[in-house]
């Protein structure tokens, strides 16, 4: 793959001995990196959503394994491999839905199994490859997606799928960046309740790049489609099953249903690291439920009569998706072929 320098803001920075994580919970008001020197710290940064977005979570976890190897091997522990495996298990428990987390941890395991003179260096080189490959994949997907959207006049996106959510450039937002560079299409971003990634992160990223964007309340999507302003919904994914069902940020399924009603097409953009070869259909995907406190105002904290249901992902059936764009190519006709032989892993 051609190598690409990280473009735009960097969610993750490896310093040589530590991982710096941009605290996305504080954007766009405060731009601050937290620095981690342990795998436990990185697992906490993932669980608390300082770092978020499926590919970025996978990359962070890979660097978490590097920190674990540095800690256990370089301090001379006899049982360093078992200790690193325990840290890998801890990192795997940080969030359940985005498969990129487990994919990246699996890619890091050879460091333990193969004989390396210097496992810390080997681990770092695996992690840096995962990071660099993700950026390169995003640029490829940007081109594939932009070719399909050449004549689009309006695009709605959901959640954040930009540089912050990935190694750099972005998945769905990478496609939107590429489209806009060719043709100044209208871009709409849903605010993405309950966490507001669209309002806090997507709008901020596009504004940094001087790309005009219009924010809408999630509940305005049907009316936007009815107005005829958009012809495509373009989103990312956290896990894709072999039949083409897609788990993505809560609200994606609603958009797909609305899109069908209004004759709007739906594109999903994700690297092949988001495809789960063990999942035949989306019914098997575990959907993360987060704390009620992320949704409920503090005044209801101890109120016995008020509770919140807070699933943060949903599954969109393949039949509602017009195209899945990956760095290996584009899958169409999902209802008939799933993601097809192109993605045999």
- Site of interaction with ligand MRU (CB under 6 A): 52-55, 159-161, 165-166, 171, 197, 235-238, 248-249, 312
Of 120 and 171, which has the nearer Cβ to ligand MRU?
171
Helices 119-148/172-182 angle, 10° precision: 50
Q: How open is the CA angle 14-15-19, to the nearest 5 degrees?
A: 50
- Is the distance from CB of 269 to CB of 145 less than 8 angstroms? yes
Catalytic: which of 238, 245, 276, 314? 238
Of 19 and 173, which has the nearer Cβ to ligand MRU?
173
Looking at 129-264, which runs of residues are DSSP E strands?
Answer: 154-157, 186-190, 214-216, 232-235, 239-240, 246-249
Active site residue 238: yes
In the complex, what is the shortest distance from the CB of residue 205 to ligand MRU, in angstroms, rounded to a whole number? 12
Of 167 and 338, which has the nearer Cβ to ligand MRU?
167
Cα 20 to chain centroid distance, Å, stands at: 18
CA dist., res. 126 & res. 109, Å (int): 10
- Is the distance from CB of 232 to CB of 240 less than 8 angstroms? no
In the complex, what is the shortest distance from the CB of residue 74 to ligand MRU, in angstroms, rounded to a whole number? 31
CA dist., res. 246 & res. 325, Å (int): 12
In the complex, what is the shortest distance from the CB of residue 142 to ligand MRU, in angstroms, rounded to a whole number? 13
In the complex, what is the shortest distance from the CB of residue 113 to ligand MRU, in angstroms, rounded to a whole number? 29
In the complex, what is the shortest distance from the CB of residue 166 to ligand MRU, in angstroms, rounded to a whole number? 6
- Is the distance from CB of 263 to CB of 298 less than 8 angstroms? no
Of 152 and 235, which has the nearer Cβ to ligand MRU?
235
Number of H helices, E strands in the chain: 12, 13
The owner of tokens 């394994």 is 65
Residues with catalytic function? 238
């Amino acid at each position: 793959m051609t190598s690409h320098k990280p473009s735009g803001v960097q969610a993750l920075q490896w310093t040589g001995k530590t991982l710096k994580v941009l605290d996305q919970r504080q954007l766009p008001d405060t731009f601050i990196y937290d620095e981690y020197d342990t795998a436990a710290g990185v697992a906490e940064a993932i669980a608390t959503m300082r770092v978020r977005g499926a590919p970025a979570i996978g990359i962070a976890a890979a660097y978490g394994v590097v920190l674990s190897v540095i800690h256990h091997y370089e301090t001379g522990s006899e049982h360093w491999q078992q200790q690193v495996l325990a840290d890998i298990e801890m990192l795997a428990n940080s969030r359940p839905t985005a498969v990129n987390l487990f994919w990246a941890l699996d890619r890091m395991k050879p460091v333990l199994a193969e004989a390396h003179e210097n496992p810390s260096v080997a681990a770092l080189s695996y992690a840096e490859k995962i990071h660099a490959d993700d950026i390169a994949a995003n640029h490829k997907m940007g081109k594939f997606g932009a070719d399909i959207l050449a004549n689009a006049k309006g695009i709605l996106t959901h959640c954040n799928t930009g540089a912050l959510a990935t190694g750099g450039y972005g998945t769905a937002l990478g496609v939107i960046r590429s489209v806009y560079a060719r043709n100044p299409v209208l871009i709409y971003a849903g605010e993405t309740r309950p966490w507001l990634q669209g309002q806090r992160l997507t709008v901020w990223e596009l504004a940094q790049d001087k790309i005009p964007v219009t924010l809408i309340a999630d509940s305005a999507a049907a009316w936007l489609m009815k107005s005829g302003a958009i012809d495509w919904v373009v989103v990312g994914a956290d896990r894709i099953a072999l039949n083409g069902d897609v788990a993505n940020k809560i609200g994606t399924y609603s958009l797909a249903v609305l899109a069908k009603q209004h004759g709007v097409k739906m594109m999903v953009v994700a690297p092949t690291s988001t495809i789960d070869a063990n999942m035949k259909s989306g019914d098997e995907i575990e959907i993360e439920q987060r704390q009620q406190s992320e949704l409920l105002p503090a005044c209801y904290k101890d109120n016995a009569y008020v509770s919140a249901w807070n699933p943060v992902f949903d599954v969109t059936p393949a039949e509602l998706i017009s195209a899945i764009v990956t760095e290996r190519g584009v899958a169409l006709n999902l209802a008939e072929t799933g993601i097809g032989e192109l993605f045999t892993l």
